[in-house]
Structures are given as C-alpha cells and as structure tokens.
Structure 1
Amino acid sequence: MKAYDIIIAGGAMAGATAALALDTLSGGQLRIAVVEAMLPDHANHPGYDARSIALAQGSCAALESLGLWSALAPFGTPIQQIHVSDRGHAGQTQIDANAQGVPYLGQVIELADAGRVFHQQLSHRSAIDLYCPDYVEHIHREQASVTVELKQGETLQAKLLVAADGGRSPCCQQLKIARQQHDFHQVAIIANVSTALPHQGVAFERFTRTGPVALLPMSQGRCSVVWCVSPDEVDHWLSCGEATFLDGLQTAFGWRLGKLLHVGTRHAYPLVLNQVVSPVSHRVAVVGNAAQSLHPIAGQGFNLGLRDVITLAEVLTAASAHGEDLGAMQVLTRYAQRREADRETTIATTSGLVHLFSNQNAVLSATRNLGLGLMSALPSLKQPLIQRTIGWVART
C-alpha cells in the first residue's frame, strides 16, 4: 500500500489542474497521486476529444498565477470580441476586449493540446505520482483515511480523495453521492468548421429555435462549433453528408463569416444539468464536471470548475500549513462554503439563459430582444454578463 496526502481520481482538465495547483501552492510539500484512465493522445479520450474549451480571461490569469499558462498559451486563440444575437430578430449585443481594458476576453484551446501539456507537467512534478492508464476500481472510507484499489493492482491510501472523473463520475456512483439532474431536451453537436471569411478573433453566440449555436475562433482560421439541436434531429445531422450539414448550420448561424466551407468529424452530447447535491462528503471532494456538468451556453462549465479546483487547493494547502487533517469535514466545509454562491449563481444563470432563449413565446421573445437591444445601448446593463463572461468572478 502506498501512502499519499491526496488522491485525485481523473487526470483530465479538472484533475490535472487540481494536482498542479496543490503542488504549486504547497511548494511540493504534499504527496499527490493522480489516477487517469487514458493517455491524453488516445483517440477516444472523453476529456481530450475533438472539443475545444473557451478559457475566460480570468481563468487564464488564474492559471498564469500558478505558472501554468505559459505552457498553454502557444495553443490558444484569443477571443477579441463576442457577438450575441437571436435568429430572426433584430436584438443583438457585443462585448469587446478593448472596451473592457483587457488584452482578450478569453482563449480557445483544443482539449487534445491541453491534455498533452498537463500530462507532461504532471510527469515532471516530483511530489506527484501519475497512474496512467489506470482507474479507481474500489473505494473504502474509514474514519481517518480513504483507500482506493486500482484496476492494475495498486492500493493507495490518503487523507482525501478528490473525484475529478467526469460527468458520469464512477467514484460518485460507487459512493452513492446524491445528484440532481435536469434534462434540457437539447443535444450539442460539436465539430470544427472552416469559413470563407476570417473570424478575426470574434466568437459568436446565436440563439435559435432549437437552442444556441456558437462559433469560437480557432487556429488555422478554423472555428469550433457547438450547435444545440432537438434530440429527434441528432441522427439526421450526424449521418447526413457534409453539404447538407453545412446548409443546415448556415441557415441556423447566418452569413457573418461568409459561406461555411468544410466541417470535420461530428460528435454529439446530450445536454443535462447534472450536479452533486453537495460537493463534499466524508473524505471526498468532488470537482469539475463530476461536481456539475452545465449547458455549454456562455461557456461557463470549465471556468466554474477551475475556480472550484483553485479554491480547493488554497483551502487544503492552508489547512496543511496549520497541521490540520486534509480530509476532515471542517476543512472540506470551508471549501464548500466558499464556493456555494458562485456555484449556485453560475448554474442558475446558465440554466435561465437556456430556458429564456429556447422559449418561442411571443412575449418572451420580444422581451429578450428588447433586453439585447438595451444592453447595446446601455453598457451598464450588460456589465454583470461581461464580468461572468470574462471570468471576473470572486471566489470568496
């Protein structure tokens, strides 16, 4: 049996960031085990597949404070402007980096690139042991410790287990950690497209009858597409030819980037709000998508998860410096209380936007378009949206 201070189940974005933040803030004083099922280059890795993430400017600054951004920066495409519109209506608004006094609103990074960077970082930290490919098969919680048995035969023991193993979280399932779910009755089709006109660092979010469609600027002139459609349309859009797909996407998105020329491999993800009732349990903390899987509207999911893992790292390193038990409930409760307001507000905001802009009621449609118009005319009205979009959110 190998002893650690902390075991992290899951070494994709949330788990890797948690481990690196803990190692950095503790000055390498905490012994950390990271258990990851798949190598980052694996074609079917659920955390590092064809998707991209939009890191808010505040998230990039947080990663920079931990010394992690410089390795990711070469793979990022800056978002200089965000354009929000409602298909079939005049209301629209824009958020501009220059107007906000920041170098960019966010950065778009392919998860495959982030995966390779973080995997390499984990491998070079002497206080971190990376078990990959491997996964947690059994968890045993006792009063003063938690023990995990890995598929490859190793047994690890620590004061705390951090579950960062994705939206389906086998760890949470095994421990029967209570969850709440809400089905948005939408499916996200994810792909990369090329366009006739250059994106010029502009990200687009356009609301349609079936849900939002977002185009995020990427390297090599590409855009990452997140197209939310109704479940009964998914098979058609996944199986149809390229020309048919591009025609449908063009109709939904419009012509702001000219003709859509080419689309890569398409993937589909059902959209369900899936959150743990509490992010802490006896000897366990839950972070990232394991704690809450959000609708991709406004790109808040990973940015919220990043604020979670950095706060957890701060709480745990402070507790360690004071000689406290890292898995004690009073320590974990401190973390949960610090994150409660941001977590609840972000979940409520994203879910509310989905329902507001997916509802075809004439009164609601008129109201939301008036709201978009007013936000353009009166910048103070859109400041709360700007702050959350840029990631200027207090972690308390």
Structure 2
Amino acid sequence: MQLFDIVISGGAMTGATLALALNQRFNGRLKIAVVEAFDPSEQEHPGFDARSIALSDGTVRILQAFDLWEHIFPYTTPIQHIHVSDAGHAGMADIEPEHAGLSALGYVVELADVGRIYTELLRQCSSVSLFCPQQIELVDRQPDSVTVTLKNFGDIQAKLLVAADGSASTCCELLGHTADVYDFEQSAVIANVAVAQPHSGRAFERFTPNGPVALLPMKNERMSLVWCMEPGQAESISSDDGFAEKLQQVFGWRLGKILRAGSRAVYPLKLTVRSRTVSHRFAVIGNAAQTLHPIAGQGFNLGIRDVATLVECLEQQQPGDVGDIAGLLKYQDRRCSDRNQTAGITSSLVSLFSNQWVPAAVSRNLGLMFFDLVPLLQQPLLKRTLGHVIR
C-alpha cells in the first residue's frame, strides 16, 4: 500500500491549486496524492471546460504567494471597468479600478488554459502523485491515518484526506457530511460570444426579470457569457438557432452587434453549504464545501480562500501530522464568517434583483444610483467582491 501525507480528492481548479500550494509551502517535503476522475488533458474534463472565471484581486494575491500567478497571468484578460444595470429601469452603476486603488478589478481566464498549466506543473512535482482517471470507492479512518480505496487501484493511505471534488462530493457522502441545499430555480447558460465592438476590458452585469446576464472580457475580443433564467427556458434557448439575436434583445447594444455564439452548456443553480467542513482526518474545500450562485462571480474566489487558509493551518500543525484535528478545527473556524457572509450577499443579490414588486424595483434602482454617485458606498461590497476580506 502506498503511503502519503495528504490525499486530495479532485484535481480540477481548487484541488490542483491546493496540491501546488502545499508543494510550494512545504518545499516538496509532503507526499501528496491527487485523485481525479477525469483526465485533465481531455477537452471534455468538466473542471477545465470552455468556461471562463473571474479571478478577484484577492485571489491574484494568493496565487502570487504560491508562485502560481506568473504561470497563469499570460493567459488572462484584465477587467478595467464593470457596468451594472437593471433592465427596464434607470438605475445603473459603473465601477473603475481607481475606486479601489488598483490597476485592474480582476482578471478573466479560460479554465481550459488553467487546466493545461496546472497539469504541466503537477507533472513537474516529484512529491505529487496523480491518480487519474480514478475514483474513490471507500474511506476508512483510523486513529492516526485514513485509508482510501480506489476503484481500479486498491488502497492508499495518508494522514489527511481533503475533499475538493465538487458540490456532489463523493467523499462527503461517504463520511456523512451532509449539505443544506437551496434551489434558486434557475439554470445558467454558458457560452463564449463574439461582439462587433472592442470590449476594452469592460465587464457587464445586467439584471433582468428572468435572471442576471453577465459578460466578461476575454482574449481575441470575445466575451464569456453567463445567462441565468428558468430551467426550462434555459434548455430551450441554449439550442435555439436565434440564440445570439435573443441575447441581443436582453443585453442591448453596449458592445455593438453580437456576431455569434459558441457552443452552449446549461448548469442548474443551487446554493449548497456544508455546515461541517472538517472531521477526523478530513477537510472540505471549494465547491465541495459551498457552491454559490454565479452572480458577482464569487464561487471560485471563495474556494481559493479555503485553500490559502487550509495551507496556513496545516503549516502550524504538529510536525509529522498534518491531519491533527486541532489544526483542522482552526481552519473550519477561520472560514466560517467569510463563507456565511459571501453566500449571504450573493443570495441576497439574487432575491433583490428578482423581485419585480414596484417598491422593491424603485428602491434597488435608487440604491444603484447612489452606489454610482457616492464612491464611499461602494467600498463594503467592493472589498468583498475584490476578495479583500479577513479569512
């Protein structure tokens, strides 16, 4: 049986970031196993598909601390401006980097690019073993270790098992870490679109009666689209030949004509939160710990803060035992406030902008106007969306 210090279940964005961060912080002294069900080199890998994500300034700083940003930066597009609007109403707001004293409000990167980068970096780490494609079937915890049974391999053993395997986490199911789930009764249509005018680093969040529409700037003058709506409508419109025209009607002409849209994917939207993120020899991070609505793009950035905090807590563990429960409980305690506040804010934004009751619409549009006119009002929300939070 192969012995490791840490087994990470899930080798997509969050799990791979954790493996690389641990390798950097512990100078390769830890033996790490990454168990991943899908081959990262395959284009169909669900964790490194055609989607793009927005990396907040706080996430960039974390990636810099782990020596990862220099590898990712060449593939990113900076966000130089964010425009927020409420369809059918006068309220709107514009956010500039200068409001936060930054050169960019964040960066957009395609998951497929990060997948290639991370796969190569992991292969260069002699202390990291990649079990792929593999699946965890059983988890057996002993006082001083945890034994993981892989479907087509057998047993491997470690001091600590970390679940980074998404909202439907197999490890959490096996170990009884249940989740509270709230169905937003929305699905997100994901696509890359080409527009007639240069985006100039502009990002857009437009709230409509059916759900928010977000467009993020990408390389080659493309935009990454996240269009939220009722599930049946999402399935229908995603396969509609007139998809670009329908998007134009909802989004408007801020980027000129929407020339074409690439392949579309549909994802159901649910808030999933596990109240327990640690137990004996076990920790949970990223989407396995909490899955948020994509409004304001906070999900992955919250997960990276999980990674950074867990690494810090493991650095403080007793020598030779990274799975000691004392350090894991510190991790859970430190992450509680950030998790709750970020999940609460994103869910509240969904409710606020979905409410078509006239007084509510008037109130939120007045709020947007004041938000735009008084920069001081932007600071609390801006700090959270930029990832400048206590963790």
TM bucket normalised to smaller: over 0.9
Other-structure match for 2:177? 177
Letter in 1 for 2:69: W
Q: Name the structure 1 match of 2:258.
A: 260
1:43-90: CA deviations, max 9, x gaps? 321111111110001111210111100111111011011111101111
Q: What 5-or-longer segments of structure 2 have no aligned partner?
A: none
The answer to whether the Cα contact below 8 Å between 1:80 and 1:201 also exists between their aligned partners in 2 is yes
- Structure-1 residue corresponding to 2:279: 281
Deviations 1:139-167 (A, max 9, x none): 11122211011122142101110000112
- Are the aligned partners of 2:235 and 2:266 in contact in 1 as well (CA < 8 Å)? no
SS at structure 1 position matched to 2:7:
strand
1:383 to 376, 379, 383: 379
The 5 Å alignment of 1:238-317 reads: 238-241=238-241, 244-317=242-315
Spell out, residue by residue over 1:287-316, the C-alpha distance to the aligned partner (whole angstroms, 9 max, x if none).
111111100000000000000011101100
2:348 counterpart residue number:
352
Match of 1:120, SS?
helix
**Contact 1:41-1:112 at 8 Å conserved across structures:** no
Q: State the partner residue of 2:28.
A: 28
Q: Secondary structure at the match of 2:74?
A: helix
Q: Which residue number in structure 2 is paired with residue 392 of structure 1? A: 388
The code of the aligned residue for 1:334 comes to K
Report the equivalent of 2:86.
86
Where 2:316 maps in the other structure, the secondary structure is helix
Preserved CA contact (<8 Å) 2:248 2:257: yes
Distance 2:327 2:67 in 1: 26
Query: What's the counterpart of residue 190 of structure 1?
Result: 190
Question: What does residue 217 of structure 1 align with?
Answer: 217
Equivalent residues in 2 for 1:38-187 (5 A)?
Answer: 38-187=38-187
Q: Secondary structure at the match of 2:48?
A: coil
Which residue number corresponds to residue 324 of structure 2? Answer: 328
CA contact (8 A) 1:22 1:317 kept: no
What CA distance in whole angstroms lies between the structure 1 residues aligned with 2:21 and 2:67? 9
Q: Does the aligned pair in 2 maintain the 1:22–1:314 contact within 8 Å?
A: no
Shifted more, 97-106 versus 197-206: the winner is: 97-106
**Residue 297 of structure 2 is aligned to residue 339 of structure 1:** no
Separation in 2, partners of 1:359, 1:142: 51
Query: 1:337: Cα distance to partner?
Result: 0.7
Q: Where does residue 364 of structure 2 map in the other structure?
A: 368
Provide the rounded CA distance (Å) in 2 between the counterparts of 1:154 and 1:122.
22
Whether the 8 Å contact between 2:316 and 2:327 is mirrored in structure 1 is: no
Q: Aligned-residue CA RMSD in angstroms?
A: 1.1
Shift of residue 344, structure 1, vs aligned partner: 0.6
Letter in 1 for 2:327: V
Contact in 2 for aligned 1:238/1:267 (Cα 8 Å): yes
Give me the TM-score of the superposition, normalised by structure 1.
Answer: 0.97
Counterpart code for 1:315: C
Give secondary structure in 2 for the equivalent of 1:109.
strand
Contact 1:40 1:112 in 2 (8 A): no
Task: For 2:224, give the aligned amino acid.
Answer: S
Whole-angstrom distance in 1 between the partners of 2:320 and 2:370: 51
Aligned-pair distance for 1:324? 6.4
TM-score normalised by L of structure 2 = 0.98
Matched positions, count: 391
Deviation at 1:335, TM superposition (A): 0.4
Task: Give distance in 1, aligned partners of 2:2 and 2:197.
Answer: 56
Task: Provide, for residues 11-47 of structure 1, a one-character-per-residue CA deviation record: whole Å limited to 9, x for no partner.
Answer: 1000011111111111222111111112223232111
**Could you give the per-residue CA deviations for residues 255-290 of structure 1, whole angstroms, max 9, x where no partner exists?**
111110000000000000011121112211011111
SS class of match (1:374):
helix
Alpha carbons 2:201, 2:217 under 8 Å: kept: yes
What SS does the aligned partner of 1:277 have? Answer: coil
Q: Aligned partners of 1:38 and 1:235: how far apart in 2?
A: 25
Q: Is the 8 A contact 1:163 1:290 kept in 2?
A: yes
Give secondary structure in 2 for the equivalent of 1:47: helix
Please tell me the residue identity of whatever aligns with 1:203. Answer: A
Distance 1:132 1:324 in 2: 27
AA aligned opposite 2:257: K
Distance 1:41 1:142 in 2: 35
One-letter amino acid of the counterpart of residue 307, structure 1: R
Query: Identity rate of aligned residues, in percent?
Result: 52
Number of the residue aligned with 2:3: 3
2:196 corresponds to 1:200: no
Partner SS state of residue 47, structure 2: coil
